[in-house]
Copies of this chain bind each other. A is one copy, B any other.
């Protein structure tokens, strides 16, 4: 985020510079290219995994989105993604009067730019059934034409099974969408149950844009499905996310052996993910916990202050990542509330004689009604 800002500075500067050196009223427009850079989102890996940043749900003018596929790749590059999928709607193509419906083209248009910018582009589509049943993203797919052929006649399950036939990774999108506004609740519907039992369903979106589908987190935990976070963007990403103000796009963090499509697939299959939206993370306890401990470190006591009975010890607790953690003390005596902003540290104080404090990380969810609990060791 820092860079995006600095970039603005330098850009303005170079503009003025060119104005200044313009002697004879001639100016080559090619001088004015915008200096692009890839923002590095700092999130450490652990256990031999690196943390990849992925977004597998977004749209272009080829379905109902408002941008060309290259914009999606450009955004991914600037906003720090490692891996992405464009997932235009199969069954919903309102621009078809002007744009020829062919989703292989979406991938083809984007792949050159992705390859040259070190972005892993996964081929995808959104199977878009009247809700309920709902929408399902299929990624790592084959020929998109297979989906379009009889899209209007296919039964819901058959439509999804086409993706299974192509050995796609399939996840259920925003389960609470639309259903909630009809009757105020959303459920584990029959179609999903069937797909789950036939091992066709791989994951569920827990975060979709700025929406937290809480039940989806429990379903993932209870049924060993992969926790996903996506933007589902149709408009320009920067229209919805205030990057200069420090925002990040909603995404899936993947704990992968390598920065390859194969390792991404493996992490998805094995459920090694955490979803990240605004200040919140959500996922299975194992991964949320490992992510926290990889990001946060506490140093030895750097100062001691005499008190009435006991002396108070001072510690610096550091968040080396771009994540955000709010912590509330559960057990022990010490600083009650700690807010760990991205790439920053705080001072924690505690009366001497304790070997740890236990905190609840209220911005980290491991179930719909349960937050991560962590031990902070004191030395």
Footprint of B on A, CB under 8 Å? 1-3, 5-13, 15-16, 18-19, 22, 24-30, 32, 34-40, 42, 61-62, 65-68, 70-71, 74, 95, 97-100, 102, 105, 109, 115-118, 174, 176-178, 180-181, 184-186, 208-215, 218, 235-236, 238-240, 242, 244-247, 278-280, 302-303, 305, 314, 316, 318, 320, 322, 324, 339-347, 368
Contact = CB atoms under 8 A, between A and B. Distances in A.
A309 B286 CA distance: 52
A71 to B, nearest CB: 5
A322 B2 contact: yes
Contact of A238 (B67, B238, B279, B341): B238
B2 A342 contact: yes
Given A2-B342, A236-B236, A180 B27 contact: yes
A369 B79 CA distance: 37
Contacts of A102: 98
Nearest to A64: B68
B29 A209 contact: yes
Nearest to A11: B242
Instruction: Give this chain's copy count.
Output: 4
A35 B316 CA distance: 15
A185 B342 CA distance: 37
Nearest to A299: B118
Contacts of A1: 1-2, 5
Contacts of A38: 316, 344-347
Contact of A26 (B67, B70, B184): B184
A242 B3 contact: no
A341 B6 contact: yes
Given A15-B278, A215-B25, A37 B341 contact: yes
For the complex of A and B, the 5 pairs showing the least CB-CB separation, nearest first, are A25-B214, A8-B242, A3-B341, A6-B246, A5-B246
Nearest to A10: B339
Given A8-B247, A13-B13, A25-B186, 17 more contacts: A2-B343, A3-B246, A3-B344, A5-B245, A8-B242, A11-B242, A12-B278, A26-B176, A28-B176, A29-B211, A40-B343, A66-B67, A68-B95, A98-B99, A116-B303, A116-B347, A236-B238
B29 A177 contact: yes
